[in-house]
Amino acid sequence: MQAITIRQPGGPEVLEWTEAPDPTPKSGEVLVTVAATAVNRADLLQRQGFYPPPKGASEILGLECSGTIAALGEGVENWAVGDEVCALLAGGGYAQKVAVPAEQLLPLPKNVDLVAAAGLPEVVCTVWSTVVQTAGLNAGHVLLVHGGAGGIGTCAIQIGKALQTTVIVTAGSDERLKLCRELGADVTINYKTQDFVEEVKKATDGHGADVVLDNMGASYLDRNIDVLAMDGRVVNIGMQGGVKGELNIGKLMAKRGGVLSAGLRARPITGKGSKADIVKDVRERLWPLVEAGAVKPIIGRTLPMAQAAEAHRALEASDVFGKVVLTA
């Protein structure tokens, strides 16, 4: 098969479209012929040598894909060769074929085409597991989403609105904020020119945010606590603003608040808190919203997989609204 490989850690130019061994599905896995994959910031870190895959996972980039089941491993039930699916991966998506644990498959949603579906698994599982399963987002809450114009952010806006919450987002340009409003965001904040703590308090009559979905980490830690409502939760999924910050425990205690961190890639396949649990809950509770059109994949750019380097440049430049998808 053809796949994107990393010649050596470095910039986008180290990515090469080349021959790689075909994967073979193990017991409990399926082999998927890949139609498309999507680019995530974790891919950029792995390319740079900072985010190796979990033990036993493919070294090939790619945390999600869509495609058609080509073969079943031993013991796989409830799936058949020819089924169109999308899948959450620990790696391997930037390739023409990938082996996937059956528990990490989702059926192709009605009314979503196969290529666009590649932009769903990683974002829906990330957002659902953090803001719903972990932070307890519910109707009537205020959800603050940092990075509202990215793949995670555009998904979080839609899930927040589908769950009848007030959605507030930050982004770095008026044009990107306009697109967030078109997607359903109730309040938009330009983090380059506005103080998000002040703007959230103003928009909520002093209440603040019940849940904050944070991709920045250290640089936003103190202000995320400032913006919290009583009994609020900050859920961190990224470190774009650094890895070490100072936590004012007094302020956090005064709000009965919580600061939580949640990753997805390194979770076990099965068991408590596993990818299988998340995918099952997504299929049962979120997939109906996807099939109804309330939550859609937002695809900002589509490129051939051989042009993965250009896709990485676009994501690094924050040049795309929503997801960048690579077609096999």
Which residues of the chain carry a pLDDT beneath 50?
Answer: none
Between vectors from CA 303 to CA 278 and to CA 179, what angle results, nearest 5°?
Answer: 70
pTM: 0.95
| CA–CA gap between residue 43 and residue 106 (Å, rounded) | 22
b/e per residue, 33-51, with b = 16+ CB within 10 A?
A: ebbbbbbbbbbbebbeeee
What per-residue confidence (pLDDT) applies to 319? 87
Structure tokens at 264: 């997805």
If one looks up domain 124-261 in CATH, what number appears?
3.40.50.720
Those residues with Cβ within 8 angstroms of residue 77's Cβ, 6 or more apart along the chain or in another chain: none
- 8 Å CB contact between 214 and 234: yes
Is the CATH number 3.10.100.10 carried by domain 2-120+266-327? Answer: no
Strand-strand pairing, 84-88 and 64-72: antiparallel
Q: What is the pLDDT of residues 151-187, one digit of tens each?
A: 999 999 999 999 999 999 999 999 999 999 999 999 9
Question: Residues of CATH 3.90.180.10 domain(s) within the chain?
Answer: 2-120+266-327
Q: Rounded to 5 degrees, what are φ and ψ at 232? A: -80, 165
With residue 298 as reference, give the H or E element that holds it.
none
With residue 201 as reference, give the H or E element that holds it.
helix 196-203
What per-residue confidence (pLDDT) applies to 46? 97
Question: Residues of CATH 3.40.50.720 domain(s) within the chain?
Answer: 124-261
Numbers of helices and strands, H then E, in the chain: 10, 15
- Only one residue has tokens 């599982």, namely 125
